[in-house]
Amino acid sequence: MLVLRSAILRSCQTRSLALSARSFVPPRIRLLSFSLQNGSRFSREFSKLRPRVDTARRPPPSPTRFKQVADNTILPDFVGLRPGRDLLKCLAFTGVVGFGAFTIAAITDYRRRRLDFDRLTEIARNFFNQNHDQPTLSEGQKCALALVALNVAVTLLWRVKPLAPAMWRYFSNSFASKSLTVPMVLSTFSHHSVLHLVVNMYCLFSFTHITIDKFLGVDQFLAFFLTAGAVSSLTSLVQKLATRSTIRSLGASGAILAVLTYTCMMIPEARLSVVFLPQFDFSAQNAVYGLLAFDLLGLLFRFKLFDHAAHLGGSLFGILYALYGEDLWKLYYQKVVKTYRRVIEGTE
């Protein structure tokens, strides 16, 4: 019995010593073992955050990757999708752009008519006996070429890498960017790809000189173009908010479609044709119907190749201006000129 009890006591003592040896772990080793055991639990959550942490340190993407990063959150000016109330800022900015543009247009048009630059130019030509025929550009063609040159210059700026952050922030329209209102106008003159630029500038030059020389004049046209660009950007932002999209858009397509639909509404019987398919022609009025149907379907089915919301907004602005714009312009022009003469010139 004594031998058995001593054996049991010895076994209990060895077990207690083993347990005490296992339970005693230095503090540093305990921390290390805790981190190894629990680190795997947080690795999955951290892996979700890691891409954003890493990409936040990256430099702005190269403009050659516009399609890949247009819907990405790696851009330095990305702030997340804005609340819906920010659309009120966009609406107010559009109103300010339209009001300011047409006010300046009325004043400059009044001063242009009063100074009568065309008559002074004709007198100067006769004075220097320039009777030989010289090919001259119309006012509409000069304005169209100036707009084309401006768009080409902005496209070249996209190729300057140090300017990439500023170009992304101010020359691309997005509802998830730090700059919300200014890009609504600046993105109208911004093109990234050469093909996009060439197609838009061809359409711009084709319809701009007709619209200026036959209907609006330079001053009213520029106000019309800027306002159409702001309106098309506004409709694009509304669509982005409705679909919770952070995609960025740019280009003069919305403003150009406003010019196109306005001209087609003013000359509905004119015949149009596609550049590479001249054998197929159609009336200008049918062209308007086709454009509206195409962009409406693209908006409903969420086609991603074009910004159909911006196109639709520009087209509707051009149609409405063709129906009501001329009468509204005459009334507003008279009020602005009357105020200008009373305040600036001191006459009635």
Specify whether the CB–CB gap between 184 and 254 falls below 8 A: no
173 φψ region: left (φ > 0), alpha (ψ -120 to 50), beta (else): beta
Token look-up 């981190």 returns 35
What does the block give as tokens for 106? Answer: 């009325």
Specify whether the CB–CB gap between 219 and 196 falls below 8 A: no
Known catalytic residue at 253: yes
The amino acid present at 173, given as its one-letter code, is: N
3-state class of 237 per DSSP? helix
What does the alpha-carbon distance between residue 182 and residue 57 come to, in Å, rounded to a whole number? 26
What does the alpha-carbon distance between residue 137 and residue 303 come to, in Å, rounded to a whole number? 40
What does the alpha-carbon distance between residue 17 and residue 115 come to, in Å, rounded to a whole number? 109
Token look-up 């159409």 returns 228
CA atoms within 13 A on the CB side of 125: 12
Count of C-beta atoms within a 10 Å radius of residue 146: 13
Task: Please list, in sequence order, all residues whose beta carbon lies within 8 angstroms of the beta carbon of residue 91, skipping any fewer than 6 positions away.
Answer: 234
Q: How far is CA 259 from the centre of its chain?
A: 18
3-state helix, strand, coil in the chain (%, to 5): 75, 5, 20
The amino acid present at 299, given as its one-letter code, is: L
Of 66, 312, 65, the residue nearest 171 (C-alpha): 66
Name the catalytic one among 177, 253, 308, 315: 253
Residues with a known catalytic role: 253, 311
